[in-house]
Structure 1
Amino acid sequence: MTDSNLWTLRETLIVTVLGAVFGVLYLGWVQVWLITQAVFGPVTMDVFMGFWFIVSMIAAAIIRKPGVALVSEVLAAATQILLGSPSGLILLLSGLVQGAGAEAVFAATRWKRYSLPVLMAAGVGAAVFSFIYTWIRFDYGDLAPTLLVIMFTLRCLSGALLGGLLAWVVVNALYKTGVLSGLRIDHDRRSAAAA
């Protein structure tokens, strides 16, 4: 890892704040999911799942350094635990898995591309990793193959849309406010505009 990949204090604070804020939002999203699941059934989790990946894409698109997607997702999970989530410490493993799925996509671009398609692919990466994890944790092997295909498809779509696309919208809105000036996203966009 080169010096340019080391996190500054400002970047570390931003990742920490994003992790904390989205930890609160994730906990609230659980309540929305539970209410909706009572009406539409168990596949609702796969439809809603993408939002639980979003901080990894937002943080990574802003900071643009190795490890940001992974750490931000783990911090969001830790925040939920500190706020009393009934899921408990297992959330750290969920955050690790989801963050690793998004991080893998950014690593494949060598942490150099953060376009809409890449953010959506990172959402799908988080969805795939989380699906494998929940398959093992909840023994999906006993489910009907058709149901598994539907669940997997819905989760990937959710990752792409509620994770990647929504992250892109949020990051662009934040960028327009000027609060991201001086960060790597700002340098990259100014360089691209000058080219």
Structure 2
Amino acid sequence: MNSWKLKEIVVMSTLSVVFAVIYLAFLPIGKILVGFFGPIGYDLIFGIWFIVSIIAAYIIRKPGAAFLSETIAATVEVLLGNAVGPMLIIAGMIQGAGAESAFAITRYKKYTLATLMFAGVMAAVFSFAWGYFRSGYAALDSSYVFAMLVLRMVSGALISGVLGKYLSDALAKTGVLSSFALGKEMRRRRAA
């Protein structure tokens, strides 16, 4: 039952490529926010960089979807020229593992809004732990670092979780996801 179908791999990969481009497009926005607010500026929108993991997991509903989609997106970002380079692939894997952990906790059986928001929060926590050591957050005031973490978690919950659910549901309503787990769930809801 958990084996992947070719169409699921194709959709996950396509989503990953699309969001890799979107991720790159958000880098200048993040830099503008950092210019205004300092390092905390990125945390305001950090949830955008987790969104493909939530969308792919919500649509496909198979173990590994969150992790793999985020890893593919990070790899594509590097290939497209993200200045961070190969270290970004590790960051993507960590973010994907964070989101994946939320779905694993529910044993891949709950895909409610609360679960999607929790996945965004977990991606934020995992990425923040990585960033704490990689980006030298320890040199910053502890209350500022705590505010960064809270903002990143809120961004993960709202941008990745809420917006990810909204975008996936909107796509499913068009009928293009009718043969995927999300599309089948929507048909069941309409029939009930």
Q: TM-score, with normalisation over the residues of structure 1?
A: 0.95
Q: Distance in 2 between matches of 1:79 and 1:142?
A: 32
Deviations 1:48-88 (Å, cap 9, x if unpaired)?
11100000000000000000000000111011111111110
Q: CA RMSD in A?
A: 1.2
Q: Distance in 2 between matches of 1:37 and 1:139?
A: 16
Are 2:116 and 1:119 aligned?
A: yes
Aligned to 2:89, the other structure's residue is in SS state: helix
Percent of aligned pairs with the same residue?
46
* Corresponding residue to 1:189 among 171, 186, 189: 186
Structure 2 unpaired stretches of 5+: none
- 8 Å CA contact retained: 2:47, 2:120: yes
Across the two proteins, how many residue pairs are aligned to each other? Answer: 192
Are 2:42 and 1:45 aligned?
A: yes
* Corresponding residue to 1:68 among 45, 49, 65: 65
Q: Which residue in the other structure is 2:93 paired with?
A: 96
Residue 36 (structure 1) shift: 2.3
Q: Distance in 2 between matches of 1:126 and 1:185?
A: 21
* Corresponding residue to 1:147 among 144, 158, 177: 144
Are 2:26 and 1:29 aligned?
A: yes
Structure 1 unpaired stretches of 5+: none
Q: TM-score, with normalisation over the residues of structure 2?
A: 0.96
Which moved further from structure 2: 10-19 or 109-118?
Answer: 109-118
Residue 142 (structure 1) shift: 2.2
Aligned to 1:80, the other structure's residue is in SS state: helix
Q: Which residue in the other structure is 1:157 paired with?
A: 154
